[in-house]
Structure 1
Amino acid sequence: MLAAAAGFLAVALAIRAASAGALESTGRLEQYSGTALYASMTYVGVLAVWPRRSPWVAATVAWAWCWAMECFQLTGIPAELATRSLLARLVLGIRFDPVDLWWYPVGIVPLAVAHAWLRRRRPAP
């Protein structure tokens, strides 16, 4: 799961580097792909912490986390922390964007569907 999370992060950073050349970018491709890939990282992070959770429980927890972090940005605290730490910026974000609320499921739902499909195909122990 951690390798998958690292892979999603690498893809997000590669998209930013290839299209904008900087971590701080405002293009739609960089923003929306980054949001969806953040959600994907969150999903696999949930499974890394709770590996036996069902895909739908993991998806719900990941989705709730993403929405909570997005709403937390309304406080201004993440923006302040982001000025001091790249890690805080990557985990908490900077500013609220209501469009992001709709991009989180784009990163979570396909993984949950694939996970559920793979679980059904696996033989019972």
Structure 2
Amino acid sequence: MYADASRAVKRDLLVVAGPSPVPLPVSLPRAATVGGVSRLPVLVAAALTVVAGLGVRALWDGPVAKYAGDALYTVLIYALIVLAWRHVRPMVAALLAAGLSWAIEFAQLGEVPTVLRPLLGSTFNPPDLFWYAVGAAAAWALHARFRPARPHS
């Protein structure tokens, strides 16, 4: 059937032609998408979030940099959740991102291992909780705004 082609894609199988075609399971369309949307915009959003966080730290000092960093930290967690969980709803991703950020903040009430302090912080600061919620809300709003509409059934 595929004698002239070295490979052909049929459904979700990669069929390699040869003496006896061997179907190899691949999910070309689904592997590249998150909830029906390309993973590329989510990866770009995550990268831009890191760049924004580094930029804020480089340009400003004090509370502006600290609280913007808190919000962006939660935005990055949100993006990682969307990358990992294909069909997550924006509100669920926002609640998970805020919840994880808050859990990390509350963990700072105890002793954080020295090796993890650059990533997790070391001092509990109640205003951080508000800024984590701001970051989750901003990520939710952008995700909900740009998420493709689901077909009505």
Establish whether TM, by shorter chain, passes 0.5. yes
Give the TM-score normalised by the residue count of structure 2. 0.65
Question: Which segments of 5 or more consecutive residues in structure 1 lack a partner in the other structure?
Answer: 21-26, 83-87
Hey, which bits of structure 1, 4+ residues long, moved more than 3 A?
none
Alpha-carbon distance between aligned partners in 2 of 1:98 and 1:81, rounded to the nearest angstrom: 23
Question: Which segments of 5 or more consecutive residues in structure 2 lack a partner in the other structure?
Answer: 1-41
The answer as to whether partners of 1:76 and 1:95 remain within 8 angstroms in 2 is no
Q: 1:51 aligns with which of 86, 102, 106?
A: 86
More strand by share: 2
Give the TM-score normalised by the residue count of structure 1. 0.79
Identity %: 36
Instruction: Kindly report which structure 2 residues correspond to 1:1-125, keeping only aligned pairs within 5 A, or say none.
Output: 1-20=42-61, 27-78=62-113, 80-82=114-116, 89-90=118-119, 92-119=120-147, 122=149, 124=151
Alpha-carbon distance between aligned partners in 1 of 2:139 and 2:83, rounded to the nearest angstrom: 14
The answer as to whether partners of 1:16 and 1:30 remain within 8 angstroms in 2 is yes
**CA RMSD after TM alignment:** 1.9
Computing the radius of gyration from Cα coordinates, the structure with the larger value is 2
SS at 1:113 equivalent: helix
Alpha-carbon distance between aligned partners in 2 of 1:109 and 1:10, rounded to the nearest angstrom: 20
Alpha-carbon distance between aligned partners in 2 of 1:19 and 1:118, rounded to the nearest angstrom: 30
Tell me how far 1:123 sits from its aligned partner: 5.7
Alpha-carbon distance between aligned partners in 2 of 1:118 and 1:9, rounded to the nearest angstrom: 20
More helix by share: 1
Q: In structure 2, do the counterparts of structure 1 residues 8 and 72 end up closer, same or farther at CA, with 3 Å as the change threshold?
A: same
SS at 2:126 equivalent: coil
